[in-house]
Structure 1
Amino acid sequence: MKHLIFILTLLFSSTVFSNVVYTNKGVVQKLYAYTHFGSVSGQEGADVLVVFDTGLAECPAGFFLSASAPAKETVTSFLLTAYMKQNETRFRVATNSIWNGSASSKYCELRTVIFE
């Protein structure tokens, strides 16, 4: 029974995280910090949009950090550091979570900032 639970957990985990992929390594081109779009009642801040050549068909123009993301303040500071220093950076994004704030381009949801 323990083996079955372990196998099911592994199977479920790989299914849940299978849409989280690495972007190309590159330089953040633009940052947009919104005041209202994506805002969460009772919390400070809103969505942050990052223009970045991801190399991904699902979201070639970049990705977004949701205002409701855990540790959004820390991740926002990492994004600002990457932009200001113009260091090559890599990200992990969820290709199954697309930002609804743009009709012309698709932006995946940010999961991880990676300084290499």
Structure 2
Amino acid sequence: MFDIGFWELVLISVVGLVVLGPERLPVAIRSVSRWVGAARNMANSVKDELSQELKLQELQENLKKAEQMGMKDLSPELQDSVDELKKAAAEVQRPYAEKKDEQPSVTTSHKQD
């Protein structure tokens, strides 16, 4: 990502020690490491979402091809994509079905005056 060598890190550490002092330097390092970790997590989540979207787009294209072919005599690759898309659609619908089954019970208490 960054092209920082050993001597550059030593120089940054020495400047940080002089500027911040020995008391605040560990706190500053922890803060920076948290920011870097948060940025990495965000970048990984965006990368995962993009790969999922690309996969979903590919599955949709394969489904369109399958529909154009009339869902008959599909190649194994297209049949696998159709099956995977059906499975994904079932998984998406499943959480909503569970929420419908789990109706929260509402209890009311009446105060007697």
Structure with more helix by fraction: 2
Which structure is higher in RCO with an 8 Å CA cutoff and minimum separation 6? 1
Larger radius of gyration: 2
Decide: shared fold, TM above 0.5.
no
TM-score, normalised with respect to structure 2: 0.24
Structure with more strand by fraction: 1
TM-score, normalised with respect to structure 1: 0.23
